[in-house]
Amino acid sequence: MRSDEIKTGYHRAPNRALLRSLGVTDKEMNLPFIGIANAYNTIVPGHTHLRQLAEKVREGIAAAGGVPFEFGVIGICDGIAMGHEGMRYSLPSRENIADSIELMVQSHRFDGVVGIGTCDKIVPGMLMAAARCNIPAIILTGGPMLSGHHEGKDTSLIDIFEGVGKVAAGTMTEEALCDLERCAMPGCGSCQGLYTANTMACVTEAMGMSLPGCAAIPAVDAAKLRIARETGEAVMTLVKKDIKPRDIITEKSLKNAIRVDMALGGSTNTVLHLMALATEAEVPLTLEDFNILAESVPHICSMQPAGPHSMQTLYHAGGIPAVLKRLESYLDDSPTVSGKTILQIAKEARVINAEVIRSSEHPIHVAGGLMILFGSLAPDGSVVKCAAVPQAMWKHTGPARVFDGEQPAMKAILAREIREGDVIIIRYEGPRGAPGMPEMLSPTSALMGLGYTKVVLITDGRFSGGTRGPCIGHVAPEAAVGGPIALVQEGDRIAIDLFEKKIDILVNVPTLEKRRKNLKPHTRKLTGVLARYANTVEQANMGAVQR
């Protein structure tokens, strides 16, 4: 056991003395030591219940013959951080989480580790740490929030964001928005739709790093407590059999995760996180792989925000095992932390509601829900949730409306200075330029709330999983490193074509080169975490990992 390095032999008497001060018994000294990385806190709705889940994980570890040791991990609520300077700190927290788990695991020589988290950067950070440390590991995701209910309709956080646009448009009163605000989010758990937090939970299960069914179980359901206990027991099996994350996180399993992502029409952020995870696990993966898989896998679940179904609805329809069953013929068989292979899980699953989880013969769309676009505006790629783009906007050419940052763009949107047909360019919001590649749910939701239907939004930053409409993010290279998006001027014609997977600036090369010679990149004065991050972060097409 790795933990023997801190507890075996006379020369480890000082180490053992410290362990005994914790209440560790003689018998426990001979058992595997298991770390529990818990993202519990009382500011993030998706994390506020994790302390109770951790207790069940501890019970499971102890019952299966291990000794649990719990430690804390930070977690940022992107919804609370959205729309102001705080959002620049969200993506950098992913690296902090991975680093902090690595520090704890390696310092204390744990034999295995359980990651307990929900939300956008926490689960990716835990997966990255698992691949990096490569000791037996399993992830327990905290589960989605129940749907809100307002005037006979299910509601979620996105209704609030879009309500801001409706107030600006004069179609909703502030009092009505306040009423909606009070009932849209009824309790603990990750935001209700297939936004980034829940998409990451789904792909974690699909790649085999959490137990079958874990992703969709609501945070408040007793089934979540039961699977927490089973997760504690399962990590002990992994330790005894010496099954490590890199045995599970392989090219096959990552491609299975992408296939499930495509079938669900998940968040664009999963492209960023899966690329980062592939880097940590040393698995070959490119942006083009996403397009290749998207073309072969149908979009079979119409999930919020593009469709009507919440995670709660997906759970009652059979959850991710049922999705795997529908995709059985598309999947590569690979091991999972449950001891079953992914195809065994698929074969044993049952589709309870065929309207929610459709067959491949009757899909929502014949191709997957995400798409990578390349072209003169994004030579190294960009990402769009094509499942959330109306067919009429799959091909569009319009004049650029250029903004150096999210706030001036938001001001122009709310002031109704944007016209139908415009292509909004928000730049200097990339990994290095922002820094931190902030999500932009506020401007995209404002556009929806104001009733725009023919406006494209393009950015070198990111979009929330709650974004819908023709919104293209992760443009690489970003403006801060001299990418073509930095050369766009007001009124330039921008063309997008999702049918051809293209995104272009319709300006000739000599003109662009002349602009490049006169380019003075926008810079920010940075200190602390953001300064260190900006100096070390790679581009979005590389997963925005730190060098």
Per-10-residue mean pLDDT of the chain, 547 residues long, equals 96 97 97 98 97 98 98 95 92 97 98 96 98 98 94 86 88 94 94 94 98 98 98 98 98 98 93 97 96 96 91 97 98 98 98 97 94 98 94 97 95 95 97 94 88 95 85 97 98 98 97 95 92 96 94
Peptide bond into 124 cis (omega under 30): no
Is the distance from CB of 281 to CB of 131 less than 8 angstroms? yes
Alpha carbons within 13 A on the beta-carbon side of 406: 29
Specify the 3-state DSSP secondary structure of 373. Answer: strand
Query: Would the CA dihedral through 8, 14, 19, 25 be positive or negative?
Result: positive
Residue 17 CB neighbours (<10 A): 9
Query: Would the CA dihedral through 186, 187, 192, 195 be positive or negative?
Result: positive
CA distance 348 to 90: 38
CA distance 272 to 295: 19
Q: For 469, left (φ over 0), alpha (ψ -120 to 50), or beta? A: left
Is the distance from CB of 390 to CB of 453 less than 8 angstroms? yes
Question: Does 90 participate in catalysis according to the annotation?
Answer: no
Query: Would the CA dihedral through 301, 305, 307, 311 be positive or negative?
Result: positive
Is the distance from CB of 73 to CB of 122 less than 8 angstroms? yes
H or E element in which residue 126 lies:
helix 122-133
Q: Percentages helix, strand, coil for the chain, rounded to the nearest 5? A: 45, 15, 40
What is the per-residue pLDDT across 174-218, written as a single tens digit (0 to 9) for each? 999 999 999 999 999 999 999 999 999 999 999 999 999 999 999
Q: Which of 429, 434, 415 is nearest to 457 (CA)?
A: 429
Q: Which of 458, 440, 433, 459 is nearest to 539 (CA)?
A: 433
CA distance 522 to 486: 9
Token couple for 384: 């769009």
Looking at residue 280, what is its pLDDT? 97
pTM of this prediction?
0.95
CA distance 216 to 472: 27
Looking at residue 162, what is its pLDDT? 87
Looking at residue 168, what is its pLDDT? 86
H or E element in which residue 87 lies:
none
Looking at residue 440, what is its pLDDT? 85
Is the distance from CB of 33 to CB of 16 less than 8 angstroms? no
Scored b (16 or more CB within 10 A) or e, 347-385 reads eebebeeeebbbebeebbbebbbbbbbbbbbbebbbbbb
Is the distance from CB of 168 to CB of 446 less than 8 angstroms? yes
Token couple for 362: 């009757």
What is the per-residue pLDDT across 60-100, written as a single tens digit (0 to 9) for each? 999 999 999 999 999 999 989 988 999 999 999 999 999 99
Q: Give the dihedral of Cα atoms 117, 120, 124, 126; nearest 10 deg.
A: -20
Looking at residue 422, what is its pLDDT? 98
CA distance 350 to 358: 12
Scored b (16 or more CB within 10 A) or e, 36-53 reads bbbbbbeebbbbbbbeeb
Is the distance from CB of 117 to CB of 39 less than 8 angstroms? yes
CA distance 274 to 104: 23
Looking at residue 151, what is its pLDDT? 87
Who contacts 253 (Cβ-Cβ below 8 Å, separation ≥6)? Answer: 206, 207, 208, 332, 334, 335, 342
Of these residues, 3, 93, 302, 464, which one is catalytic? 464
Q: Provide DSSP, 384-419.
A: E-GGGS-GGGSEEEEEEEEESSHHHHHHHHHTT---
